[in-house]
Amino acid sequence: MTLPPVVFSDGADFFEKLSHRYTTHRKGLFIMTPSGAGKTYYCKNQTTPDWIDGDDLWIESGAQPLVEWWDMGVPVINTVEQRCDVITAQAVEKGFCILGSINFWYKPDAIVIPEWDLLVKQIKMRQDSGEYDGGMTDAHHEQVKTHIGIIEEWHTKHGVPKFDSIEKAIEALTKDA
């Protein structure tokens, strides 16, 4: 299966509509985490709409397809990640704050790597909740481990701050905002 092609267009209307649903900030941010770290949970339960679940942003923009692209091989994964990076860069430039696990070249402001046992537990809870909305499952533990290694490189090779929870990362990045 191949991905449907995309074209670039003027995104002013897209981001204008997004600004009616989410808060724009003086400085946009991107926090990267592995699948199952709690991004969707955090975004659904925040008291003010400050953070956007990256999956929602990327799906709505057309960058992320509505298929299990993460099982379609490295060339497809790389294509989707690069598409999503373009949207992430535009959103951050517009002052939006994004929690996501898709990234190829766009440098995140922080990474979150939960303890492995907690991450496995959260993946299992999401999978068994009856509200599974996509992402890695128990069958993908090796892929999650590989992805964590890739995410870790943002910290080890590029000095991106690393946290063990979304809440700690957000607190550190927004304490002076």
User: What digits encode the pLDDT tens for the residues 61-78?
Assistant: 999 988 888 788 889 999
Q: Which domain holds residue 117?
A: 23-174
3 state SS of 32? strand
Domain presence at residue 135: yes
Which residues, at least 6 apart from 58, have a Cβ–Cβ distance to it below 8 Å? Answer: 64, 83, 84, 87, 88, 100, 102
pLDDT of residue 68: 81
Domain presence at residue 10: no
Q: From the centroid of its chain, how far is CA 119?
A: 15
Domain presence at residue 56: yes
DSSP 8-state symbol, 67: S
Tokens of residue 128, six digits: 């068994």
Domain presence at residue 5: no
pLDDT of residue 124: 72
Domain presence at residue 13: no
Ranges under pLDDT 50 in the chain: none
Residue with tokens 């090796």: 142
Assign residue 126 the CATH number of its domain: 3.40.50.300
pLDDT of residue 127: 67
Domain presence at residue 60: yes
Domain presence at residue 151: yes
Domain presence at residue 118: yes
Q: How far is CA 163 from CA 91, 128, 142, in A?
A: 23, 26, 21
Rounded CA-CA distance 145/36 in Å is 12
Number of domains in the chain: 1
